[in-house]
Amino acid sequence: QKEVEQNSGPLSVPEGAIASLNCTYSDRGSQSFFWYRQYSGKSPELIMFIYSNGDKEDGRFTAQLNKASQYVSLLIRDSQPSDSATYLCAVKGYSTLTFGKGTMLLVSP
């Protein structure tokens, strides 16, 4: 059974700080990794994906992948109250995604 593990949180950070969200996965053969943001009562929205070891930056978001450690993270710089949401990590298997249960992020003004 492929597993994707995330700390459920909540992770509380002050406005302007860096939020660090982490995810580990069990399937060593996984190739693509995704971060989704989900506001309460809304559907998941794709933020970014990564498939090579290292960092990938998109605006205030940076995804980091370490395949040897089976670890993927999302950094949010200059966190804003509007970033308060649940962040889902997803890992691609052969044809489907396995999702973690998400980490709730709370950014306080």
Partner 1 sequence: DVKVTQSSRYLVKRTGEKVFLECVQDMDHENMFWYRQDPGLGLRLIYFSYDVKMKEKGDIPEGYSVSREKKERFSLILESASTNQTSMYLCASSLYGGQGEQYFGPGTRLTVT
Nearest one of 54, 12, 11, 56 to 35, comparing CA atoms: 56
Q: Does 53 bind partner 1 (CB under 8 A)?
A: no
Which residues of 1-60 form beta strands (DSSP E)? 4-5, 11-14, 19-25, 33-38, 45-50, 54-58
Of 17, 22, 51, 67, the one binding partner 1 (CB under 8 A) is: 51
Instruction: Report how far residue 69's alpha carbon sits from residue 13's, in angstroms, rounded to the nearest whole number.
Output: 26
Q: Does 18 bind partner 1 (CB under 8 A)?
A: no
Is-contact 90 25, C-beta < 8 A?
A: no
* Sole window of 15-23, 40-48, 56-64, 76-84 interacting with partner 1 (rule: CB under 8 A): 40-48
Of 11, 60, 99, 106, the one binding partner 1 (CB under 8 A) is: 99
Of 10, 12, 15, 46, the one binding partner 1 (CB under 8 A) is: 46
Residues at the site binding partner 1, with contacts judged by CB under 8 A: 32, 34, 42-46, 49, 51, 88, 90, 92, 95-97, 99-102
